[in-house]
Amino acid sequence: MRLFTIILTFAAFSFTSFGQDAKAQGILDKLSKKIKDQSSFYLEFSASTSNSDSDSKSAFSGKGWVKGDKYYASFGDNTVISNGIKTWTIIKEEKTVYVTDADEDDEESVNPKKLMTIWETGFTNKYTKQTTLSGEAVHQIYLYPKNKGTDYTYICLYISVSSNELKRVIMSMRDQTKMTYSLKKFTANPTVEDSKFVFEQSKYAGYTVIED
């Protein structure tokens, strides 16, 4: 009887959520299709991070290439390379390369593929309003993690009304860190050689390589 009650409660919640979020889901589905229809893409972005507990702030700009499950991102002096199996995070200041499995990327890592598809799994969504961003009409959609143990408290997306392109992502973390990514340029289907996603250790002589 208790299991049956739980199932009914979950079904009612799911139905209500779907009804409330149908507009958001429609916009996100169109954006997902637009991204998935491309064999590759290139983007440029600016980013800022702040933490209210430590009163720390930073800002940087970056660029990223994505081809299938592979990606390459550079931001400031640092670089992240993933061949879809392994990810190499290269920190110039530390002269260190951190190697992890691609499916274990940290939630705060700069991953252009994740940035452009983050709404697809693990979140419920809610359309809040149409507003303007730098003079452009945008949809504002909030994402809330289904798993309460995740590092996120919420993610806010701004999506262009006219072009259906992602314009800004704000990530609020449980440790009081807030990260804002503003998309400055997006190019669909550029030619990207597979060598772009190969980590060449010879280019990082003197770096310490740390594998998870």
Note the pLDDT tens digit of each residue in 39-97: 999 999 999 999 988 889 999 999 999 999 999 999 888 999 999 999 999 999 999 99
Query: Which residue from 212, 190, 150, 176 is spatially nearest to 67, judged by alpha carbons?
Result: 190
Q: How many CB atoms lie within 10 A of CB 11?
A: 10
Residue 149 is predicted with a pLDDT of: 86
Q: Are strands 56-67 and 40-51 parallel, antiparallel or unpaired?
A: antiparallel
Residue with tokens 């392994």: 86
Residue 14 is predicted with a pLDDT of: 39
Of the listed ranges 19-28, 131-140, 143-152, the least confidently predicted one is: 19-28
Per-residue pLDDT reduced to its tens digit, 6-25: 333 333 333 334 434 899 99
Contacts of 167 (CB under 8 A, 6+ apart): 133, 136, 138, 158, 159, 160, 182, 183
Q: Is the pLDDT score of 5 beyond 90?
A: no
Domain assignment present for 184? yes
Domain assignment present for 14? no
Structural domain including 199 reads: 24-68+117-206
Q: How many CB atoms lie within 10 A of CB 150?
A: 14
Domain assignment present for 155? yes
Domain assignment present for 144? yes
Q: Give 106's pLDDT tier (boundaries 50, 70, 90).
A: low
What is d(CA 39, CA 58) in angstroms, rounded to the nearest whole number? 33
CA-CA distances (angstroms) from residue 169 to 48, 114, 142, 206? 11, 11, 10, 36
Decide which of 103 and 7 is more confident.
Answer: 103
Q: How many domains does the chain have?
A: 1
Of the listed ranges 18-22, 55-59, 102-106, 199-203, the least confidently predicted one is: 18-22
81 with 201: CB under 8 angstroms? no
Q: Where are the alpha helices (DSSP H) in the chain?
A: 2-36, 112-115
What is d(CA 140, CA 167) in angstroms, rounded to the nearest whole number? 10
Per-residue pLDDT reduced to its tens digit, 29-42: 999 999 999 999 99
Domain assignment present for 167? yes
Domain assignment present for 98? no
Tell me the average pLDDT across 131-149.
Answer: 95
Domain assignment present for 30? yes
> Tell me, what CATH number does 39's domain have?
2.50.20.10
Domain assignment present for 172? yes
Query: Which residue from 82, 60, 89, 63 is spatially nearest to 74, judged by alpha carbons?
Result: 63
